[in-house]
Structure 1
Amino acid sequence: MSSSGAVTPLPQQPSHGRGPEALDPATRVSCRTWVQPAYRLEANVLSVLDGYVSRRNRPYPVADGGGQMNQSQIEDVLNSLVYALYAQSGRQGAGENRIGNLQVFDHPDAVDHIVKSPALFRKNFSMISALGYSRFNTNDENWAIRREITQDAYLAAARPAQQNAVSEIYTARLLQSDATPDGIQKALFSASLTIFYRAFGLVADIEQTLTLIDRVREVLRRLQYFSWVVPTISERDGAVYDARQVVADFAAQLAAELCAAAEMARFAEKAKAVRGFSPVEEFVMNVFAGVETTVATVLWVIDRLGANEKVQQRIQDEIDTGKPDTPYTDCIVNETMRYLPPIPFLVREVGAETSLDGRQLRAGQLILLSVVGVHQHPAFWVDPKSFDASRKEFIDDTYDRRAFIPFLTGPRMCGGARLGRLEVREAVRAIVRQFTFNRADDVIRFDYGLALRPAAGSSVAVARR
């Protein structure tokens, strides 16, 4: 039985509904959904997740009594965590939400306040930091110095003048790919890696780097699991060893290429005020965060395109106009990120005693910010649990920015947001030009490992145009 989570239509609810006539009802995909894990733990999911474990939290016994957790058990707990967020979303006025001993914040006002107050609500990545430190998991001046190392490169790579180059890279990789979900996924990773390395003046060894990225993802999945469930000493040591080994292998790859070695020296020079700074750790975390979330978003768009061929045709019609503006493509990309955010939640550590949203918070307390809940809050969205490819809030640009945060907001928002949006839009356009998609069912199966992506073995069928 699969351990991937699944989003399934509610009983007797049609998977394709009618939308407002002015928005072309044929392109409205209304799949009222409730997220369910395909494989359930014997215990209730909320008891399984009883306690986000950091150095200050109480010990939590490993489910098998202290032995090695297998891959399906790790996937089950992490996917069940995302399931719990979907299950809790949209419960307006239903009282305080919790997952284990973490308070969950999902009201857009509260979450907006938290992410715009980084001095009070600090990033805490628990065991994930065993892979290293970067702009993504540091705070204060340490973060500010690290940000300056990469930010100019991200902004330059996202300039309008780069649009054609980005489009050409995705088009070329997809032309060379097999017309299969796996072939397209590999082409997307190849294109995104090429663009990322190009932003820093580098050329990636695609096959070798893709292998390293896969290893990073599996290591991070295990480290994230051990942030929720206390590992045995051998499990902890094994995970830390594997994390350090993949960083070492990345370092060897970068050192073997003259330009890459010079770029790592530039990183180190700019961060000489940061004690113990590792340019390779910084680079690895930037590569993974940028490429993984970009590709995950495009894969979700493909998943949703397969549910309605008329949506594909409408994007193609928009491409055929030759106009630079792509409002419908932008709408479905936004709706995909709203409904299936690549980063479904965040954890923050409270820096000082405070109150928020009617709750008292103590210094050192860990809280969970549900991006899923923000994106499905009924006070901010019409029919938020439906995926609507022609969502009026996006078409009319009337949505509340606090309720749509796929790249977060405030001073710690994603530094590569502009580049990510550019890549996703051009990737979707290149895909629709070359392929058509259909689904054997309309069940959304997910696989969570820091980023949320469609599970392997999806029911999407692919054909070249």
Structure 2
Amino acid sequence: MSLTDPVAENQQRDDFVPPYPFRHEVTPPVWTLIGLAKKNFLSVWGVRDFQGRLRSMKIFSRELILCNRPDVVRQAFQSNHAALQRKSPQMRHALQPLLGDGLFVSDGETWAKRRKLVAPIIHGSRVPGFAPIMVDTIAEKRAEWAAKPDGSEVDALAEMAHLTAEIISRTIFGRQLGKDYASEVVRGFSEYQKHIDQVDLIAIFGLPEWLPRFRGSALKKAKARILDVLDEIIDSYHAQKQAGEASVIGGLLEARDDQGKPLSREAIRNEAAVIFMAGHETTANTLAWAWYLLSQSPGVAARLQAEIDTVLGDRTPGFSDIASLPYTRAVIEETLRLYPPVPILAREATEQTEIGGKPISKGSLVLVVPWLMHRNPVLWDLPDTFWPERFLNDSMKPGKYGYVPFSIGPRICPGLQFGMSESILSLAMLARHFDLRLKPGTDVQPVCRLTLRPGETLPMTLHARSA
């Protein structure tokens, strides 16, 4: 990979560098970093953090090890999975009120058993069967937009969240959410992220794990919004079954463990919450960021639309069309590189281990940070530039352990293919008919709390493309 690579030289770029937080030349004091992290996790990183390979620092009683090259990422998340499968205390305690012991935050025996049950529900082999439902749902959003006057203002973040919430509900839970329930879920997740603690001081100070964390009334209200919808979905399964309707989540509801026992209702709801969170929140953020990036990159938008027009024309796509949309895929992949939905992957060492020759003591926190590695100038040319063409040339990518928007190793997101297919189909079907333009005067800045969003809202104007 080189700036003088002949392939790179021949690619036309808009050279759009989208926003990112200030990068410190000198690491601030610990208390300053904690204050920054409470507002936005992305604002704590310095120039050296992007360029390094394996770095460590101590914050009070905790050692933090940062892995920022493919070789050490592979050791951390693949070779040392047994010692480093537990999520960080911050992530576990932030999500435990909502997800309980769900797959995303569990580890050990619980994680292994649940993974066996949950992974098949959204496995890549099932995605072709989901595609028609995805397409129908996206077509409804397309019709909704077509009914709006040209130039109408929309919140692209909320629009994509409603779309992906509806898709996950229809494909996995076998029922239509409808606008009211979708709105409850979307608002619930937004409020939850807004009010959850971003820094777990109890863990940082090395205090006992069992000490309670404060949960305010706003957080409890947001949690209730989401879980009330999930309860109704679970309750409706039996009626669906009696009416002869199939539901993928039925596999979880009717699953039995090695002793033939069904999952408890609490466990079922926890896993349903994981599927809903991972299945709509991350994809919604990716699509919102893609619309923003395209609005600032006319050359990329033109090439994307040319591919869609040529491949699809005016017909409705199917799953088989995804393979014929390489540039659309590249736009999504580049969006995930610049704005990975979960930009910090943190694990707690449950036993002594080693990474890159460095001893890792029990209790240390090991961080793989896609936000940093995806912008590491050693791994990527023009790392801060939006340039989807890089994903059309394998020589310009650092390999699977250098690009980890869905994590990597045994804990890789089981819904990877679901999310990619949903994103490509959504972008292709909607960009075929519409341009989204950023509302003048809007300042878009990446904000990471639990996931990486373009702020609270993303105001854009909707414009129909001429046939």
State if a TM-score over 0.5 links the two structures: yes
C-alpha separation in 2, matches of 1:99 and 1:85? 14
Instruction: Sort the Cα spacing of 1:160 and 1:94 in 2 relative to 1 into closer, same or farther, 3 A.
Output: closer
Q: Which residue of 2 aligns with 1:257?
A: 236
C-alpha separation in 2, matches of 1:225 and 1:31? 27
Is contact 2:162-2:186 (8 Å) kept?
no
The question of 1:126 aligning with 2:114 is answered no
1:307 CA drift (Å): 0.5
C-alpha separation in 1, matches of 2:141 and 2:77? 37
Instruction: Sort the Cα spacing of 1:244 and 1:273 in 2 relative to 1 into closer, same or farther, 3 A.
Output: same
Instruction: Sort the Cα spacing of 1:455 and 1:166 in 2 relative to 1 into closer, same or farther, 3 A.
Output: same
1:242 CA drift (Å): 4.5
1:364 CA drift (Å): 1.9
C-alpha separation in 2, matches of 1:233 and 1:28? 50
Which one-letter code corresponds to 2:269 in the other structure?
V
C-alpha separation in 1, matches of 2:153 and 2:351? 48
1:228 CA drift (Å): 4.8
Q: Give the secondary-structure state (helix, strand or coil) at the position aligned to 2:117.
A: helix
Deviation per residue, 1:49-71 (Å, 9 max, x gap): 44xxxxxxxxxxxx8xxxxxxxx
Is contact 2:333-2:388 (8 Å) kept?
no
1:215 CA drift (Å): 1.7
Q: Which residue of 1 aligns with 2:305?
A: 316
Q: Which moved more, 1:278-287 or 1:231-240?
A: 231-240
C-alpha separation in 2, matches of 1:119 and 1:234? 27
Q: Which residue of 2 aligns with 1:83?
A: 43
Q: Give the secondary-structure state (helix, strand or coil) at the position aligned to 1:90.
A: helix
C-alpha separation in 1, matches of 2:9 and 2:220? 58
Is contact 2:153-2:462 (8 Å) kept?
yes
Instruction: Sort the Cα spacing of 1:158 and 1:406 in 2 relative to 1 into closer, same or farther, 3 A.
Output: farther
Which one-letter code corresponds to 1:202 in the other structure?
G
Q: Which moved more, 1:162-171 or 1:349-358?
A: 162-171
Q: Which residue of 2 aligns with 1:407?
A: 406
Q: Which residue of 2 aligns with 1:225?
A: 198
1:116-155 equivalence runs, <5 A: 116=78, 117-124=80-87, 125-128=91-94, 129-131=96-98, 132-155=100-123
Q: Which residue of 1 aligns with 2:449?
A: 449
Instruction: Sort the Cα spacing of 1:223 and 1:93 in 2 relative to 1 into closer, same or farther, 3 A.
Output: closer
Instruction: Sort the Cα spacing of 1:425 and 1:99 in 2 relative to 1 into closer, same or farther, 3 A.
Output: farther
Match of 1:114 among 68, 76, 79: 76
Q: Give the secondary-structure state (helix, strand or coil) at the position aligned to 2:185.
A: helix
1:106 CA drift (Å): 2.0
Q: Which moved more, 1:380-389 or 1:173-182?
A: 173-182
Instruction: Sort the Cα spacing of 1:141 and 1:338 in 2 relative to 1 into closer, same or farther, 3 A.
Output: same
Deviation per residue, 1:9-54 (Å, 9 max, x gap): xxxxxxxxxx94522x1x44342765239xx9xx95852444xxxx
1:122 CA drift (Å): 2.2
Which one-letter code corresponds to 1:126 in the other structure?
R
Q: Which residue of 2 aligns with 1:4?
A: none
Gaps in structure 2 of 5+ consecutive residues = 1-6, 205-210, 242-248, 313-320
1:264-343 equivalence runs, <5 A: 266-267=252-253, 269-270=255-256, 272=261, 277-322=266-311, 324=321, 325-343=324-342
C-alpha separation in 1, matches of 2:239 and 2:340? 32
Deviation per residue, 1:210-253 (Å, 9 max, x gap): 31342244335533425357899793365775476446523542
The question of 1:351 aligning with 2:350 is answered yes
Is contact 2:21-2:446 (8 Å) kept?
no
Which one-letter code corresponds to 1:208 in the other structure?
Y
Which one-letter code corresponds to 1:308 in the other structure?
S
Is contact 1:130-1:240 (8 Å) kept?
no
Q: Which residue of 1 aligns with 2:136?
A: 168
C-alpha separation in 2, matches of 1:424 and 1:227? 33
1:309 CA drift (Å): 1.9
C-alpha separation in 2, matches of 1:146 and 1:171? 34
1:389-404 equivalence runs, <5 A: 389-391=388-390, 394-398=391-395, 399=397, 400-404=399-403
The question of 1:22 aligning with 2:10 is answered yes
Q: Which moved more, 1:291-300 or 1:188-197?
A: 188-197
Instruction: Sort the Cα spacing of 1:127 and 1:93 in 2 relative to 1 into closer, same or farther, 3 A.
Output: closer
Which one-letter code corresponds to 2:337 in the other structure?
R
Instruction: Sort the Cα spacing of 1:260 and 1:135 in 2 relative to 1 into closer, same or farther, 3 A.
Output: farther
Is contact 2:51-2:378 (8 Å) kept?
no
Q: Give the secondary-structure state (helix, strand or coil) at the position aligned to 2:354.
A: strand
Which one-letter code corresponds to 2:376 in the other structure?
H
Which one-letter code corresponds to 1:83 in the other structure?
S
1:53-92 equivalence runs, <5 A: 77-85=37-45, 87-92=47-52
C-alpha separation in 2, matches of 1:86 and 1:167? 42
Is contact 1:375-1:384 (8 Å) kept?
yes
Match of 2:21 among 35, 43, 48: 35
C-alpha separation in 2, matches of 1:335 and 1:98? 33
Gaps in structure 1 of 5+ consecutive residues = 1-18, 51-62, 64-75
1:275 CA drift (Å): 7.9
Q: Give the secondary-structure state (helix, strand or coil) at the position aligned to 2:388.
A: coil
Aligned pair count?
416
Q: Which residue of 1 aligns with 2:244?
A: none
Is contact 2:305-2:432 (8 Å) kept?
yes
Instruction: Sort the Cα spacing of 1:151 and 1:353 in 2 relative to 1 into closer, same or farther, 3 A.
Output: closer
Match of 2:169 among 197, 200, 205: 197
C-alpha separation in 2, matches of 1:194 and 1:457? 19
Instruction: Sort the Cα spacing of 1:126 and 1:407 in 2 relative to 1 into closer, same or farther, 3 A.
Output: closer
1:413 CA drift (Å): 0.5
Deviation per residue, 1:404-434 (Å, 9 max, x gap): 1111222111010001000110111122112
1:284 CA drift (Å): 1.3
Deviation per residue, 1:121-166 (Å, 9 max, x gap): 0222331212212111112331122123332231368533544542
